Each structure stands twice: as structure tokens, then as C-alpha cells.
Structure 1
Amino acid sequence: MSDDRRLDVLRAIVQDYVLTHEPVGSRVLVERHALGVSPATIRNDMAALEDAGYIAQPHTSAGRVPTDKGYRLFVDRLAEVKPLSAPERRAIGTFLDEAVDLDDVVDRSVRLLAHLTQQVAVVQYPSLRRSALRHLELVPLGERRLLVVIITDTGRVEQRTVELDAPLADHVVPELRARLNVTAVGRRLVDLAAPLEQMVEAFEPPDRPLVRHVVRVVEDTLAESIEERIVMAGTANLARAGTDFPGTIRPVLEALEEQVTLLRLLTEMAEDQAAVSVRIGRENQHAGLSETSIVATGYGADGEAVARIGSLGPTRMDYAGTIASVRAVARYLSRILAG
């Protein structure tokens, strides 16, 4: 049996099953697809695919449905991902360009992706640890209070109020603001500890306690794990696809409620070599997600991913369309963050 022909048969089965949610038989393949061989040959190919574990027969006298292994081969051999149309791309750009801040960008992105895929969309907030500083601002709020504003290159804004032991000297705040920006701007947050410590030593001894206090607030803010969170949309789409899940959809919904599980999964997928990674069925280690597939990719400024965006749905999903949508929204999101 020709491997190329076997792949053509598998591709036809996947496409028909995704479209109809009905087991696919040899007669349907002959009628719908120009495979160039006889029905008997297709039946032989289907038998070989079943023996190899790529398709299965849900019950006697039924056609065949893809298995997780079959979906994996289909995705790995996906020759091309159909690009979104020009109107779709314009709609994405217009919708995201209207965002007013990072929170709005993330919210719009997740809602848009859920609408495009009709699945659950997941967007991870940009990680502070993988971001670089764009600006640090210091705003006196009185003699003994100072507002520290941290702005990253991904648009995140963090604010902290510092309570001081002594009144602020007039010359300290402008000098500290200038030195902090010279030292920190453009650096990744994980690389700032040593430069900040050297900066402290550049101040006159009487001013160092105040400077060290402010620096500690900056470091503590950057060390917090507040960035490890995600935003979801489209959970109701799973209910409409409930028949895709044998038994009950409840384990899937319970898994989605555990953000730690999704964050761990997105982190693992970040290690994949593919630009857009796909986890299918039991490739997802969490039991509640064993009947789902997840398509995810990274987004960020200057070609460096600072977080992940993805779509989760039943294994019977339109993989080509989902990959195209995830990739397109990620690209627009990256463009916005690059500013």
C-alpha cells in the first residue's frame, strides 16, 4: 500500500468526520474524494490504517473515525494551513487596534479567538520575568511617600507605594529616576539584580538607604508571580460540542477551572519546536483534558515570546482552521505589544 495514498485516505476521513461528526465509510470516500482508486482498494487501505491504530470502528457495521494517533499523523503531515481571508485579517486588526491598554488587548484577543474557532480560547498574560523594562517613574506623594510605576515593553503597568522612614530630599527623586531608567530600561527583568545593586553604590552614603528601599520594592514587584495567570473565553462553546465528549463534559470543565493545570500545559507546550504546537487527546497528561486538543503559540515583542495564546476544543476539531486563527491573532497581538 502506498504511504502517500494511505495518508490521502486518512486525510479524507479526518476532514469528513470533522465536518459531519459521522463515521466515514469507503463508499462516502469514493463519492466525495477523487482518490483515484477503486472502492475495494480504499477498503484495504482503511483496514491497514485501522490495524496501524490510525482509525477505529466505533461499532459494528459503522464507518471509521480517526483516533488520537490518526489526528497526530494528520496534523504532522498537514501540508498547508489555509490563511485567513483579507476581510478576516482586517476585522482582527481593527478589533485589536481599538484596545486602550494591555488588559483590553488580552480581553479582546481571547474573545476574538473564541469567536473565530468556536472553541475555548486561552490567553496567558505577558510574563514579567520574560519582559524588558520600558520606563520607571517615581512620583512623590508627600514628604514620606513615593509612588513607583513600572512599565514593561509588553505594556504591563505595575504600581507600588513606598512608605519612607525619612522625608524625601528634593534632589534624590530626580536623580534616582534618571539613574533607574539608565540602568534598567531595555533590560530583561531577570537580568536587573546586579546592575541595580551597582547603581545603589553610586549614590552618596546618606542617600543609599532610601535608594535601596526603592530598589527593593522594584525587585520584589518583579519577583511576584502575579503574571502567572490566564484569561479564558468561549467555555459555552464546549456545551454546544457536548456530543464530541463520550460520557460527560464535566471533567473538561473542571480541568478548565484549574488555571494551574492550563498554565502548566502552556508552559510545557512552549518547549515544543514547532511555531504552533498541538497537543491531541491523551498527549495531554491531565485526565480531564484527555478528550480535548489544544493548539497554542507564543506572542511577544521583537520576535521573542513572552506568553502563550491558544484554543482548546474536542479532538474532532478543524485543525487547519484553528491553527490559522491562533497564529493570526498571536501575530496581531505581538504587533500591538511591539507598539
Structure 2
Amino acid sequence: MGSEERRTRVLDAIVRDYVSHREPVGSRALVERYGLGVSPATVRNDMSVLEEEGLIAQPHTSAGRIPTDMGYRAFVNSLEDVQPLSPTERQAMERLMDGAVDLDDVIARAVRLLAGFTQQAAVVQYPSLNKVSLRHIELIPAGERHAILVIITEAGRVEQRTLVFPEPVDPTDLENLARTLNMEWAGKSLDSLGSSLPENLAPALMDIARAVSAVVESALRAEGEERIVLAGTANLSRHHLDFARTISPVLEALEEQVVILKLLTAMHDGISISIGEENKSDSFLETSVISTTYDVDDRSVARVGIVGPTRMDYPGSIAAVSAVARYLSDILSAH
């Protein structure tokens, strides 16, 4: 084994030991607990190199070391495969998720499940309207000059808007128009509907069709369209010793949701991990964010993830986030 490979194993052992015991770890303990196959003196030399590289640090005068943000990043980058959930965890997920009845229920169950698996704060973003396709619309008369437009997406998300017409509209015309629009629009992305209005409509119905398209576009631009659901913020209080300053800024930022939404938006598709200062937010300097995308009909529509202290079980957390994302994808694509 070369010195570089050995030092990677030493760093791996330091991270895993510190995550498990929350105590600085010394060379002798590493040799005894992790079967490194070398002497404590060799491990001490490796620890000195790792410290010079900024991957571990000595928090006080003891011989023990702890990982730095850079050390956690190197550890995460060295993980080769996402470990599977245990059979018990997989069965628990199947039991809880398979009973969901609608999109709100699916999201609520998923975020509670993820918080329970990881013992961290969990977040699930609702499918973004501009990333999903249309399943069906309904135009429901609500008086001579009003109608309720119901937008139902392939992800099961339902939005309602009120339409106001300058002239009275025959309910039968609304029913026929809805049928025509569904034939034209079903399966298309919501941001493309305005450019695919049906041809040969009567002028009055074309005006209504344009109004429907405009309302859908306004729904996409609505300020509250990007919605997230949180669960398990109380879990962070159990980790208060992992925050050198105070946990309050983290809890406040999660409650306001703006910062975490910004972090999620900046993350790339697939599993993405942001550690400590990588978060570029004063509120999350001592946290790690692990998230991934989930799909509807093979199209990434939103993110699911966790927020916790940098001292966390990265392999287990990555596995849980990935598994919940897969279940969300499967359930929502099957709707």
C-alpha cells in the first residue's frame, strides 16, 4: 500500500471515528479500531501530513484530531458507491410511501421518512410547475362571466385559478373548449402551452383559450410557486454540541426557507453535497446539505435533501436521500 492510499485510509478512519464518537481520535486508537496494519508512529506521521494539508485539525492540546470541512469533502469524494438501505429501512419506506393518496400526502410522508432515517432536518421541494407536463385541465362555470380553471400536472399537483370574461360565456362552450385544449395540450410541458393553441377555434373561444394560456403562465411566475416542506428541525437540537457558535441561525434560516431554497437551487443534478463554508451562507457555515433531484416521467422536477451538522453519517445520509428520491420518482411517475 502506497503512502497516499494509506493516508486516505487514515482520513477515512478519522472521519468515521469522529462521526461515531464525537471525540478527537489519536493514532493508537485508530490502529486498534480500524486494523490499519501499520504502527501508531506511522499513523502519527500520516496525521501530520493530513494536518499540513488542512484535512484534519487538533482542537486542543490532546493528541487527537478531528476532520475539517476539507477533510469531510475529501472523504465524501472518496466514496465510491451509495450503500443500499437495510431491508428493515426499505420495508419501512415501502409501508409508509405506498399508502399516500395525493401529492401533498406523498411529499409529507417523504419528508417525515427522511428526517426519521437520518435524524437530521429534511426538506422536500414541490415539483416545479415549469418543469412538469400537463395531465388535464378543467373549466368549471362559476356564473355567466366567471370560470374556475383547474390545472392538474403529471406529478399530481393541482392549481386553481379564476377566469373573468368580458362577455357571458355558454357553459357548453367551456366544456367543449376544455375538451379541445386537453386533446392539444395533454403531455406537453406547461411552459409551452401558449405556443400551441388549437387552430380553427371560433374567435370568442380563441380569446378564452388565450386567457387560459395566460393564466397558466401567470401560475408559473407566481411568487409562491417554489414550495418546500420541512420536517425534523427538532433533530438539530439534539446535535447542538456540534455547533461551535449557536444553532439558532440554522433554525431561523430553515424557518424562513429562502436560504435553503437558494442552496438547493444552486446544487447540480443528481447527488450534491455542500459542506460548511461551501454553503456560502453565514447561517449554514457549520452545516452540510445533502440533496438530489427526483424525477417525474424521467424529467428532474425538484430536489429532496437533508441539513445537519458537518459531523454526520455521510454514507448513510446519502443512501437515505437517494432512496427517498427514487421512491418519490416512482410514485409520482406512476400517478
- Above 0.5 in TM-score? yes
Q: Cα offset for 1:311?
A: 0.6
Q: Secondary structure at the match of 1:226?
A: helix
Q: Cα offset for 1:90?
A: 1.8
Paired residue type of 2:200: A
Paired residue type of 1:229: R
**2:226 alignment partner in structure 1:** 228
Matches within 5 A, 1:253-332: 253-269=251-267, 271=268, 275-332=270-327
Q: For 2:124 and 2:295, locate their aligned partners in 1 and report how far apart those are by CA, in whole Å.
A: 12
TM-score by length of 2: 0.95
CA contact (8 A) 1:55 1:66 kept: yes
Paired residue type of 1:254: E
Q: For 2:325 and 2:280, locate their aligned partners in 1 and report how far apart those are by CA, in whole Å.
A: 25
**2:130 alignment partner in structure 1:** 129
Q: Cα offset for 1:171?
A: 4.3
Matches within 5 A, 1:1-339: 2-169=3-170, 171-196=172-197, 199=198, 202-269=200-267, 271=268, 275-339=270-334
Q: For 2:261 and 2:282, locate their aligned partners in 1 and report how far apart those are by CA, in whole Å.
A: 15
How many corresponding residue pairs?
333
Q: For 1:43 and 1:153, locate their aligned partners in 2 and report how far apart those are by CA, in whole Å.
A: 57
When structure 1 is superposed on structure 2, of 320-329 and 146-155 the one drifting more is 146-155
Q: Cα offset for 1:205?
A: 2.3
Q: For 2:40 and 2:311, locate their aligned partners in 1 and report how far apart those are by CA, in whole Å.
A: 25
**Unaligned ranges ≥5, structure 1:** none
Paired residue type of 2:209: V
CA contact (8 A) 2:134 2:189 kept: yes
TM-score by length of 1: 0.94
Give the direction of change, closer, same or farther, for the CA distance of 1:177–1:290 in structure 2 (3 Å limit): same
CA contact (8 A) 1:154 1:300 kept: no
Q: Secondary structure at the match of 2:224?
A: coil
The CA deviation string for residues 248-268 of structure 1, in whole angstroms up to 9 with x for no partner, is: 112212222231211110011
Q: Cα offset for 1:60?
A: 0.9
Calculate percent identity across the aligned residue pairs.
Answer: 57
Q: Cα offset for 1:170?
A: 5.1
Q: Secondary structure at the match of 2:83?
A: coil
Q: Secondary structure at the match of 1:312?
A: strand
Q: For 1:289 and 1:90, locate their aligned partners in 2 and report how far apart those are by CA, in whole Å.
A: 33
CA contact (8 A) 1:138 1:149 kept: yes
Give the direction of change, closer, same or farther, for the CA distance of 1:60–1:136 in structure 2 (3 Å limit): same
Q: Secondary structure at the match of 1:151?
A: strand
Paired residue type of 1:154: A
Q: Cα offset for 1:183?
A: 2.0
**Unaligned ranges ≥5, structure 2:** none
Q: For 1:171 and 1:113, locate their aligned partners in 2 and report how far apart those are by CA, in whole Å.
A: 47
When structure 1 is superposed on structure 2, of 219-228 and 46-55 the one drifting more is 219-228
CA contact (8 A) 1:102 1:156 kept: yes
CA contact (8 A) 2:148 2:163 kept: yes
CA contact (8 A) 1:229 1:259 kept: no
CA contact (8 A) 1:106 1:123 kept: yes
Q: Cα offset for 1:65?
A: 0.1
Q: For 2:132 and 2:303, locate their aligned partners in 1 and report how far apart those are by CA, in whole Å.
A: 13
Paired residue type of 1:279: S
Q: For 1:290 and 1:310, locate their aligned partners in 2 and report how far apart those are by CA, in whole Å.
A: 17
Q: Cα offset for 1:207?
A: 3.5
